[in-house]
Amino acid sequence: MPSNSSDRRVAVTGLGVVAPIGNDVETFWKNLISGQCGIDKIVSFDASPYDTQIAGEVKNFDPAPAFPSPKEVRRADRFSQFGVHAAWQALKDSGLDLKKENCDEIGCIVGSGIGGLQTTAEQHQILLNRGPGRLSPFMIPMLISNMASGLISMFFDLRGPNFATCSACATANHAIGEAWRAVKMGDAQVMFAGGAEATIVPIGIGGFCAMKAMSTRNDDPKHASRPFDKERDGFVMGEGSGILVLEELERAKKRGAKIYCEIVGYGNTADAYHLTSPSPEGEGAARCMKMALRNGGLRLEDVNYINAHGTSTPQGDVCETQAIKTVFGEHAKKIAVSSTKGATGHMLGAAGSVEMAVCALAIHHGITPPTINYQAPDPECDLDYVPNTARELKVTAAINNSFGFGGHNASIAAKRFEG
C-alpha cells in the first residue's frame, strides 16, 4: 500500500439513502431518473396555520432493521434513525464484513445541520407543561447533532476517526470531504460519511416560514420546488440521510469491491458575506469549485456533470449559475447541470450526501438525473439543466456542490474509475 498520502486514492464502495422518493438506493434511483417527486402536503402534523404547508417527507420508514433493539430505536431522534439506516444500507452494499476487519482503521463522519429538532421541541413542551423533573434522561443524547455519527460508530464498532460536521446545508459535503482527507492521509482505511436531517416539525417549518425562504405553492406541491425555473419562489424542505463508504482504492481493488467512482478533490471556502445570502455572483462558490478541481488534478474540460446545490430560491440559483460560468468559462455550456431538489426537496444537512450518492450513481450508470419542474427559462440561469428528462451520458468527472447559511461552501469532485 502506498505510504505517501499523495499516492493514496479514495473509492466509493457503498451507498445508502433514505429520502422522500425512496428508502433504499434502488428505489430512490429508479424514482429519481423517472422524474418522480416526493413533495406533498405535510401529514406528520397540522400545517394549515403555516405559510408553507408542503414538504418532502420520508414515507413508510421503518428504522428497526438497522438497530440492535427496539429500545435503541426509541432512544434515537428521527434524524439519527435516518442516518443509522442509511449507514446500514451502505455497509451491506459495500460487501465489508466488519467481523473480519480491523475496525481501528474504520471511521465515521456523519453530520447534521440542526440535529434532533423533534426531540428538542417535544422535551421543551414537557418542560413547560410538566416541569423539569419529567424531562427524559435521553433528551441531550437524542438531540445533539453528533449522535447519528456516534450511534453508527457504536452499532458497527467503528473505532477510527469519528465526529460530526455542522455547516447548515454544506454539512454532508464537508463530512464527505473530511472523510476523504482521513483516508487520503492514512488516518483510516475506510470511512462512512454523510449527513442526516429531520426538521419537518412545527418549529422547523415555522422558523423557515418566518425567514420567507420557502415556497408557498401549497396548491401544487409536486411543482413547488423548481430549481433554475423563472417562476421559482423558494425552497421546499425535505428530510432523510445519505451515507457513502469511502475506501482506500488499492484495498478496495484487492477485495474485489464494487467501485462506483473515485473521489479526487474537495473544496471548502467561506463567503464571509451574509447570514443567509450568497456572496455576489457566487464568488465564494466559484473559489470552492476551483479548489476541488485543483485538488483533484482535473482540467475544466474533464467535468461533464455537476449536481448543483440548486435550491429553487430566486437569488441562490442565479449565484450558482454565475459561479459555474466563472469557473468553467465557455465549457460551462457543455456541462450537464442538474438539481435533484425538485424531487427530494432541500434536505438541509443531508442534502450533500444524498446528492453525492446521485453523482456516484450517475457516473456508475451513465445517466444524469433531470431537473424536474423546469418550464420557464430564466435568462439569468442559462446553462444546460437537463430539463425534466434523465439523459444517458458517460460521466467522466462530476462536481457536487453544497452551500450553506453562514456562507459555508463545500464542493466534492469525483471521476469515473477506469481500473
Distance CA 122, CA 126 (A): 6
Instruction: Say how far apart CA 162 and CA 173 lie, in whole Å.
Output: 16
Catalytic residue among 37, 166, 169, 261: 169
Active site residue 37: no
Question: Closest by alpha carbon to 350, among 56, 30, 10, 36?
Answer: 56
Q: Identify whether the C-beta of residue 126 lies closer than 8 Å to the C-beta of residue 135.
A: yes
What is the DSSP pairing of strand 106-111 with strand 162-163?
parallel
Q: CA-CA distance, 316 to 28, in Å (whole number)?
A: 26
Among the listed residues 174, 346, 364, 408, the single catalytic one is: 346
346 is catalytic: yes
Cα(344)–Cα(371) distance, integer angstroms: 11
103 is catalytic: no
Q: Which cell numbers hold the place of 100?
A: 473480519
Q: How far apart, in Å, are the Cα atoms of 194 and each of 127, 145, 198, 241, 375?
A: 33, 13, 14, 7, 32
Which one of 85, 174, 309, 364 is the catalytic residue? Answer: 309
Give the containing element (helix H, strand E) for 236.
Answer: none
The answer to whether the CB of 320 falls within 8 A of the CB of 285 is yes
Q: What are the Cα distances from residue 88, in Å, to 14, 85, 241, 261?
A: 10, 5, 12, 20
Name the residues annotated as catalytic. Answer: 169, 309, 346
